[in-house]
Every structure is written in C-alpha cells, then in structure tokens.
Amino acid sequence: MDFKDEIAKEIAKSPQGRDAGLCADEIREMIEIPQESRMGDYAFPCFRLAKALRKAPPQIAREMAESLGGAEIFERVEAVNAYVNAFLKKSALIGAVLTAAASERERFGASDLGKGRKVIVEYSSPNIAKPFHIGHIRSTVIGNAINNIYAFLGYDTVRVNHLGDYGTQFGKMIVAYRRWGDREDVERRPIRSLLSYYTKFHEEAERDPSLEDEARLAFARLERGEEAERALWQWFRDESLKEFNRVYAMLGVSFDSYAGESFYSNKMERVLELLREKNLLRESEGAQIVELSDFDMPPALITKKDGSTLYITRDIAAAIYRQEHYGFHKNIYVVASQQNLHFRQWIKIIELLGFEWAGDCVHIPFGLVSLDDGTMSTRAGRVVFLEDVLNRAIERTREIVIEKNVNTDNVDETARQVGVGAVIFQELSNNRIKDYVFSWDKILNFDGETGPYVQYSHARASSVLRKDAAALAAALADAAALAPALRESESAYALAKLIYRFPDAVREAGEKYEPSIVTRHVVDVAQAFNRFYHDERILAEDETEKRAKLALAFAARQTMGNGLRLLGMAAPERM
C-alpha cells in the first residue's frame, strides 16, 4: 500500500482539501515525513491553503485534523501549529511491510518505472597504460551503483567503459618503450612498468625537448594506422586491460562495452561535416573552434592546427553513435567535477546541431580524491594503486576475522567480501560531490556507520532466521496476518517504517543520481534492526509472536541485502 497516496486521497476528500481546490497529486507532493516519530508518521503543512480558505494555517490544521480523525488508515491525527500530523495504524503498515518483503524478496524495493527505456551509464574509464589508482574508484563504484539502481528501477541499462586509449600520450609511450622498455617487464607488471617508462619520458624531455617532437611523430604514424605503432598500441591496451579486469573482478564490476576513444577515431569527419553544415565552425589561429560566448562559455576547441581532433570531438561522435545505436532514454556520464565545463560545452554543441536528445545527456560530477601531501600525478609517478588499497583492506579484514574468531565457513572469502565492501561503502557513504583526502586509517576503519557494520547486521539477521526454519516458512506463508502481534513493540514499528521507506529511497537515489541515499538508508535499517534484536526476544515462546518477529527479521535482512547489492557489495550470510 502507498500510504502517501492514501493520505493524499483522504485530504483531498476533506472539506479543507476540496475548498482549497487541491488535487490528490498536488497534496501528495506536499506531504512530509517528520524527523521525529513523536510528530507522526506523515505531516501535511497547511500554509498553501491559507489564501484560498482565508484562514490562518494553524486554524486550518485544527479543522483538517478533526475531519481526518475518523479515516480507517489512521490511529490518530493531531494538529501542531500549521501542520497536520498523521499516525498510521501500526498493524496496517507492519502488515504491508511483511507481505511485500515475503512476496517480493530480491525484488523488494524494485519497480518497473523504467520499463522499455534504455539508459547508458558511462563510468570508470581509466587511461590505457596508466595506473588504475585510488582516484578511479570514485567513478567506478559511483557509476556501478547508479547502474544497479537504474536496473533495479526497471530500466534496460548499458554499462560503458569509455577507455582513454587514444591521444598524444601514446606517442610518448611508444617512444619511451622503444628507448627504455622491456617486454618481459611489461608482461609481468604492465601498468607499473609502463608508468615507469612514461615518468622517465617526462624526466628526459625536460633535458631533451626533441623527445616531444619524436612522440608527436609516433602518434601521427599511429593515427595513420602504420603497422609497428598500431601493434605496440594494441599490446599496451591488451596488457592494461588484463590488469584493469583483475581489479574489476575484485570490485565485482563488469561492463557491456569497452568502446573507448579509439573506437570513434574514424567517426570524426562526420562530426566536422555536421558542424560545417550548421555553420558552427570558426577558424582561430589555425585551429577550428565553436564559439560559445552567447552561452557564457569559452570557445570549444574542435581541431588543433595540425587538424587532429580532441576529447570534445570524440565525445560528440560518441553521443551521436550511442543515440543511433542504442536509442537511449538517458545517456549518463559519471565523470569528475573537473570536467564540468567540458560537458557543458559539448552538450551545448549537440543542442546547436539540432539533436533534440541533447538534454538526455547527463553529466554526473563527483568530488576529487587527493593525498595527504597534495594531488596525485601520473607524470611524477605519485599515485596510490587501487589494487593495493583493496588488497590491504582484505588483509586487514582477514586479521580481524581470525583475531575475533568470526563465524565463517571460509575466512578468505569473508575477508574479501568485507574488506572490499568496506572500501566501496566508504566511497558511497557521503554525497558524491564532496572532495576528500585519501587516508589509510579511514579506509580501514570498520567501526561506526560502515559497510562491515551493515554486513554484520545482515549476517546477524541470517543467523536468527536459520535457527527455526519451520517457523520462518510458516511466517512467510501468512505474513500479513501476523502484523497485530507486533503493534505494541516500538522498536518493531520503527524498523518496519524504515523498511517500508526503502523503495522510496531507491527511487530518490535514481532521481538524484546519488547512491549515498541508499547507503544512509541501509545504515538506518541496520541500526533499527539491532535495536529490535536487543529489545525483543525474537525466538519467543508464543508461536504467533515468534513468527511475527521472524517475518520482520526476514524483511530487515532482505532490505539490507538488497541495499548492499545495489551498492555493489556482498551480503554475507555468516560473519
């Protein structure tokens, strides 16, 4: 049952709602959830009704509370200043929660909101032959969670890893490898070896600027498709992907497409032709630009003096290809806030080209990761490898599992699930736009509102449910009838309310592209479950009471498990 809808209908039927001329949909948008439970389950502010009814909001609230008091779904309705505070019948809400969780299970919280609509989510997108460092975790796990949330909401999602596999840096890499490289080193440690060559190139180029010219020539040969340069580039790409995929496997992340920048290299001429047709190209010091001063933006550089294309040209080509190939409803880019101007520019150019779907291209920015002593630098070799972070988290977790004699059938698997989960959860626990400083202590701190806490709560609920499988089966078969047995328990009702609001949290996270909404909600559910666990004897003597409590524990476990999986984490049964 959608209680907001039911309350909106009751308010719309009331004399105050009718006289104010508000429809149920308008009223639904006005309904709030009070911060404190003593203020009710839902609240309706009466300020907007004052003009139409020619009364003070507190008077309207008193009259409306009296009108609504007899409605079937309410336990009581109170007026507090200009608000109508509604208290639902506890057994109605608990019954709705128990029934939904028992019947929907892995789909609890899901919807068919996006049925028949395709959403592309581009995320991660590391540069070939460069480190997969801690900075890449943001795009990777935020994008993965957004993809999971949209899929859960019924959209047909396409996961795209737009690899940075093209550009002048490959000319530098080719020159560096030919001068100082070793094939066995690259095959043994691809990224670290290639990074060392790249770093050495920049060190040597400081002393010998002619290396830059040599690199430009090497890239020009690559662009022409010359066999030797093409073979080296392909090898760098293949070796890099092996290493990237090892990290993706640790994170449980996969993609439907690895079409990177190189994929669009033969699609540039069409973009240039479209820009010429619309008379958008201007020459500036030998380069080609699109003037955007009318939109409060600097010019967008389309081609350099030598005619070579840039990121912006390739992003325009990629968007056109994706619309023609996939017919997307939304084309989402999970890319750092540093690129805000870049995305504003090329999306505006798509619009100027006359493509109506320009507004369906959405840039989802996020804050940056820095080190204690400043920003990371690939050129200087100052990076923290993501694989090192994950391995240290796993090893630290393994030590804790052994030290605390954690109940698990597989120490290594539990350490992997919890260690990696801790890193993912920490990334998704705050609003994505916030910058933060990387800290080993913070990453490996498992106390408080963390991923391991939620995973432990899920395992605790699983443990309780295993203790009486017969009672649990009976409870799930007739969940709605058990609700009255829980109406006197404050901790049960508080938990049921949070479980009930989980589908709303998922929808809101999708609307705002904000996985931290799910993260915070599953922490709240875990805390409420642990209060319920401590306040109540779940395996009670009375059979009806026991079944009711098991049904609620099942609903809590299902909610935590579904939330963790949306975030890209495992939900251990034992821990």
pLDDT digits (tens, 9 = 90+) for 267-326: 999 999 999 999 999 999 999 999 999 999 999 999 988 777 788 999 999 999 999 999
CATH number for the domain including 19?
3.30.1360.70
pLDDT of residue 438: 75
Q: In sequence order, what are the residues at sequence separation of 6 or more whose Cβ sits closer than 8 angstroms to the Cβ of residue 26? A: none
pLDDT of residue 224: 86
* Domain edge (last residue) among 53, 88, 123: 88
- Using the predicted structure, report yes or no on whether residue 467 has a pLDDT greater than 80: yes
Answer whether residue 544 is part of any domain: yes
Active site residue 130: yes
Structural domains counted in the chain: 2
- Using the predicted structure, report yes or no on whether residue 58 has a pLDDT greater than 80: yes
Average pLDDT over residues 470-476: 96
Average pLDDT over residues 343-364: 98
- Active-site choice (9, 89, 115, 136): 136
pLDDT of residue 517: 98
pLDDT band for 565, please (50, 70, 90 cuts). Answer: very high
pLDDT band for 76, please (50, 70, 90 cuts). Answer: very high
322 vs 53: CA distance, rounded Å: 52
pLDDT of residue 375: 56
Average pLDDT over residues 229-245: 94
CB 3 within 8 A of CB 42: yes
For 58, the domain range is 3-88
pLDDT band for 558, please (50, 70, 90 cuts). Answer: very high
- Other Cβ atoms less than 10 A from the Cβ of 175: the count is 24
- Active-site choice (90, 130, 162, 458): 130
- Using the predicted structure, report yes or no on whether residue 334 has a pLDDT greater than 90: yes
pLDDT of residue 177: 96
404: closest CA among 334, 353, 452, 339? Answer: 452
Read off φ and ψ for residue 436, nearest 5 degrees: -155, 160
* Domain edge (last residue) among 88, 107, 136: 88
Answer whether residue 552 is part of any domain: yes
Residue 189 backbone zone (phi > 0: left; psi -120 to 50: alpha; other: beta):
beta
70 vs 128: CA distance, rounded Å: 66
CB 178 within 8 A of CB 235: no
pLDDT band for 153, please (50, 70, 90 cuts). Answer: very high
Answer whether residue 326 is part of any domain: no
pLDDT of residue 24: 94
Active site residue 363: no
pLDDT band for 447, please (50, 70, 90 cuts). Answer: confident
pLDDT digits (tens, 9 = 90+) for 369-409: 776 655 555 555 567 888 888 999 999 999 988 988 888 88
- Using the predicted structure, report yes or no on whether residue 163 has a pLDDT greater than 70: yes
Q: In sequence order, what are the residues at sequence separation of 6 or more whose Cβ sits closer than 8 angstroms to the Cβ of residue 184? A: none
Answer whether residue 123 is part of any domain: no
CATH number for the domain including 530?
1.10.730.10
pLDDT of residue 130: 82
Answer whether residue 272 is part of any domain: no
CB 182 within 8 A of CB 226: no
44 vs 28: CA distance, rounded Å: 9
- Active-site choice (90, 133, 458, 549): 133
What are 156's strand-pairing partners?
A: 118
pLDDT digits (tens, 9 = 90+) for 100-142: 999 999 999 999 999 999 999 999 999 988 878 888 899 999 9
Residue type at 319? A
Answer whether residue 383 is part of any domain: no
* Domain edge (last residue) among 62, 88, 114: 88
Return the exposure string of 363-387: e unless at least 16 CB atoms fall within 10 Å of the residue's CB, then b: bbbbbbbebeeeebebeebebbbbb
55 vs 266: CA distance, rounded Å: 68
- Chain-wide mean pLDDT for the chain? 93
- Using the predicted structure, report yes or no on whether residue 488 has a pLDDT greater than 60: yes
pLDDT band for 368, please (50, 70, 90 cuts). Answer: confident
Average pLDDT over residues 337-357: 97
Answer whether residue 266 is part of any domain: no
Average pLDDT over residues 471-478: 95
- Using the predicted structure, report yes or no on whether residue 341 has a pLDDT greater than 70: yes
Q: In 3-state terms, what secondary structure has residue 545? A: helix
Give the predicted TM-score (pTM) of the model: 0.92
Answer whether residue 18 is part of any domain: yes
pLDDT digits (tens, 9 = 90+) for 165-191: 988 889 999 999 999 999 999 999 998
